[in-house]
């Protein structure tokens, strides 16, 4: 391949004799062109649509689930799902919002003893900043301590006879790091799956708030996501977005079928026109043959008569 027009590549075909031929236009037209467009544009577009819906679904559910509680939500240790490399550790965490992030310390009877609140600044705070600020706020490793593991993840660990739960999170720290999440995904629809803690024990599912027995507020809010505008700047529901993708696909299929039928009709008409011009009419050809045959017979008799007359004159 060689550089050709702006934004395009020129494709050269090379034979066994090293003869080169420009095949660029061959790949821009006909069936091959449409197959390449299908692979590189159409399918990729639908993959992006599905990824967008998967990312949004995971984000909306995790946002509600992370700050909720269930039967087994109080933890003495929790590690974030996502880790950061050495370069990312020194940069502000992406996707954060300005707001507060709360952690509740609870006793063995699931009673909230203390609430630790951090003010998060988007575009400023790094993971080490948040870890250090949390440790300074707690100010007692025997109660609760945060640390950064070798893989760049954050580890939260409470002291003996203490556990913790997450409170209000306006900043999105829990979503960015993958703390107490319901879904995990990095690539979208390709790797969307339940978090490890949910797969290991369904009792880790958050259904309510603040360890209140029988509370189902979080579960109800998650159920409402199906009919709540959350897609495309909160202008469409999941159902509307998905149905829109399917409708667009159906319209493209119908349009392509219509175009195909139109093109096939044109091809048939052109073939009929060509046949009408170049085809042989057997009746006309037989009539012409009979005329030529009669003309030949008449010419033969005329020549034979002239020959006999000349012979008679010569013999006189």
Mean pLDDT of the chain: 88
Q: Is the pLDDT of residue 22 over 80?
A: no
Q: Is the pLDDT of residue 42 over 60?
A: yes
For tokens 């009792």, what's the residue? 203
Q: pLDDT band for position 157 (50/70/90)?
A: very high
Q: Give pLDDT tens digits for 136-147.
A: 999 999 999 999
Q: Is the pLDDT of residue 244 over 70?
A: yes
Share of the chain above pLDDT 90, in %: 62
Q: CA dist 211 to 75, 121, 155, 175, 176, Å?
A: 12, 28, 22, 20, 23
Q: pLDDT band for position 312 (50/70/90)?
A: confident
The CA-to-CA distance between both ends of the chain, in Å, stands at 92
- Determine the Cα–Cα distance for residues 154 and 158; give it in Å rounded to an integer: 13
- Determine the Cα–Cα distance for residues 89 and 241; give it in Å rounded to an integer: 36
- pTM (predicted TM-score): 0.73
- Determine the Cα–Cα distance for residues 243 and 237; give it in Å rounded to an integer: 10
Exposed e or buried b for every residue in 85-114, given b needs 16+ CB within 10 A?
eeeeeeeebeebeebebbbbbbeeeeeeee
Q: Is the pLDDT of residue 27 over 70?
A: no
Which pLDDT score is estimated for 23? 66
**Residue 260 neighbours by CB under 8 Å, 6+ apart:** none
Q: Is the pLDDT of residue 5 over 90?
A: no
- Lowest-confidence pick of 51-65, 85-99, 151-165, 296-310: 296-310
Q: What sign for the dihedral angle of Cα 169, 171, 175, 176? A: negative
DSSP per-residue codes, 258-279: HHHHHHHHHHHHHHHHHHHHH-
Q: pLDDT band for position 280 (50/70/90)?
A: low
Which pLDDT score is estimated for 6? 41
Which pLDDT score is estimated for 29? 66
Regarding beta strands 20-22 and 12-14, do their DSSP bridges make them parallel or antiparallel, or are they unpaired? antiparallel
96: left (phi over 0), alpha (psi -120 to 50) or beta: beta
For the sheet containing 163-169, what is the strand order?
112-120, 99-106, 163-169
Q: pLDDT band for position 172 (50/70/90)?
A: very high
Q: Return the bridge partners of 132, or none.
A: none
């Amino acid at each position: 391949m060689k550089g050709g027009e702006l934004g395009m590549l020129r494709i050269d075909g090379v034979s066994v004799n090293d003869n080169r031929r420009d095949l660029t236009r061959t790949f821009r037209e006909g069936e091959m062109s449409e197959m390449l467009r299908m692979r590189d544009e159409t399918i990729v577009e639908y993959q992006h649509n599905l990824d967008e819906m998967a990312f949004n679904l995971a984000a909306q559910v995790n946002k509600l689930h992370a700050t909720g509680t269930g039967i087994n939500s109080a933890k003495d240790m929790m590690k974030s799902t996502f880790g950061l490399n050495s370069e990312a550790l020194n940069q502000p965490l992406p996707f954060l919002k300005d707001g507060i992030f709360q952690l509740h310390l609870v006793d063995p009877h699931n009673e909230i003893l203390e609430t630790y609140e951090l003010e998060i600044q988007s575009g400023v705070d790094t993971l080490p900043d948040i870890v250090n600020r949390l440790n300074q706020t707690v100010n007692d490793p025997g109660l609760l301590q945060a640390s950064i593991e070798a893989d760049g993840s954050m580890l939260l660990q409470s002291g003996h006879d203490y556990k913790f739960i997450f409170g209000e999170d306006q900043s999105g720290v829990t979503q960015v790091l993958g703390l107490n999440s319901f879904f995990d995904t990095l690539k979208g629809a390709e790797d969307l799956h339940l978090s490890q803690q949910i797969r290991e024990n369904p009792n880790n599912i958050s259904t309510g708030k603040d360890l209140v027995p029988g509370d189902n507020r979080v579960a109800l809010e998650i159920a409402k996501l199906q009919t709540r505008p959350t897609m495309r700047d909160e202008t469409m529901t999941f159902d509307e977005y998905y149905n829109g993708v399917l409708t667009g696909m159906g319209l493209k299929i119908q349009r392509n079928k219509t175009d195909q039928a139109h093109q096939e009709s044109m091809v048939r008409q052109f073939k009929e026109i060509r046949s009408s011009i170049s085809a042989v009419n057997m009746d006309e050809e037989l009539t012409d043959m009979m005329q030529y045959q009669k003309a030949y017979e008449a010419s033969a008799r005329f020549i034979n008569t002239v020959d006999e007359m000349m012979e008679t004159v010569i013999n006189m």
